[in-house]
Amino acid sequence: MIFPAIDLKNGQSVRLYQGDYQQETIINPDPLAQVAQIQAAGLSHLHLVDLDGAKAGRPINLAIIKKIRVASPLFIELGGGIRTLSQVAQYLDLGINRVILGSIALTKPKLVAQCLQEYGPEKIVIGVDGRKGRVATDGWLEKSNQSFSQVVKAMQVLGVKHFIVTDISRDGTLTGPNLSFLQALQQEFPTSNIIASGGVANRQDLINLKNIGIQDVIVGRALYDGQLHLTDLKEVE
C-alpha cells in the first residue's frame, strides 16, 4: 500500500527538511482539505505524524487529529510523541487504525511488549529512523548507538510485524530511497513488513521499491513539489 504523508505542526500540514524543525515548509494550512484530496483520489491509507508531539514527547495536535479521524474513512497510522500505554489507548479508542512507536522501542521495550499484548501486532508499528546506520530518537534530535538491524531484531522477538524505516539523510531530499539498504533489511527479516519512508521522488522509485520486495511505502515531499500526484500513487499501487 502507498501512504501519503501528512506531518502536523501547529495544526497545519508541513514538511521538514531532513527532520530539521528549523527548515519548515507549510504544505496546507488546512489538513482536512488535504485528507479530502487523498480520499478523492481513491487512496485508502494515510500516514499521519504529530511533529510537535515527537519533539515534546506527548500528543500536541490532538484536536486536528480528532477532526481528521471523524471526517475520513481512511486507514490512518499515526505517530509522534506516543510514549505511554495510555496514549496508545487514547488514539486507538479514537479510531486510529495503527499507532507508530518510535523512541520507546529503544528506551522502553517492555512498554512495546505491553502494547502488543494489549492490542496485537496489527495495531502497532515501530518507527526506526536514523542516519549513517545508527538509529535516531526524540523526533530525530538524538542519535543512539544501535543499528537498524539490532532494533528490528529486538522488536521482532517481542512480536512486532510492521516497521517504518526512514533513512533521515534521504528524507525530504527527493534523491530516491536507499534501495540497497531497504532490500538488505527486508531480506534479513523476511517475515517482517518493512515500510519504506524517505527519498521517494517519482513513479520509478515506487516501482523500484516493489521490485526489491517492499510492499508498503510512505510518500511525502514528492506529492507537494509536483513530481508525483495522488493519481500516480493510485495507478502504481
Query: Which residue among 129, 167, 205, 232 is the active-site one?
Result: 129
Active site annotation includes 7: yes
Active site annotation includes 93: no
| Secondary structure in 3-state letters for the chain | CEEEEEEEECCEEEEEECCEEEEEEEEECCHHHHHHHHHHCCCCEEEEEEHHHHHHCCCCCHHHHHHHHHHCCCEEEEECCCCCHHHHHHHHHHCCCEEEECCHHHHCHHHHHHHHHHHCHHHEEEEEEEECCEEEECCCCEEEEEEHHHHHHHHHHHCCCEEEEEECCCCCCCCCCCHHHHHHHHHHCCCCEEEEECCCCCHHHHHHHHHCCCCEEEECHHHHCCCCCHHHHHHHC
Kindly list the catalytic residues: 7, 129
